[in-house]
Amino acid sequence: MSTQDWYLFGHLLGVFFLLAATGLTTGAAIAAGRATAANTVVTLLDLQLRSERFVTSIGAILTIVFGSLLVDEAGHSFGDAWISTAYTLIILGLALDHGFYLRKVKAARELAVSLGNGPVTVELRDRVNDDRARLAGIALVLLWVVFLWLMIAKPGA
């Protein structure tokens, strides 16, 4: 395998981690919104937090490092619009994810922990189904889809 192939492999592995975290977090968020026991909500929100903190972070690091190495190796320029857009999207995505979304998840988790093994209260249901957090989650999914499209469509264009 050539150096470019190794860089591409590392980059694609990072993108896979990002997409895996997105799917895992989305599924856990939907399940948490439907759960009836507070301890189930805690487990699902823990899954979201770990997925976003670890899997997304690993994916972002791999994607950025190997993508940056791949730009030069593949003969592209950091000034290319699709590359600049990809960097912008990943920075925005990580800021929205770690700076806003995970705070909402953590706050809902703290409330769920305080309820112990009891049922989900109206207050917890409202926190888990928070409209702003849901919009942030949808924005993150759309952002990663556009990011993925850039990685698939633009390098060969």
**Half-sphere exposure of residue 45: CA atoms within 13 angstroms, side-chain side:** 28
User: What integer pLDDT is reported at residue 157 of this predicted model?
Assistant: 56
Residue 119, beta-bridge partner list: 37
pTM: 0.86
Is residue 156's pLDDT more than 70?
Answer: no
Q: With bands split at pLDDT 50, 70 and 90, how would you rate the model's confidence at 1?
A: confident
Which residue in this structure is represented by tokens 């948490």?
32
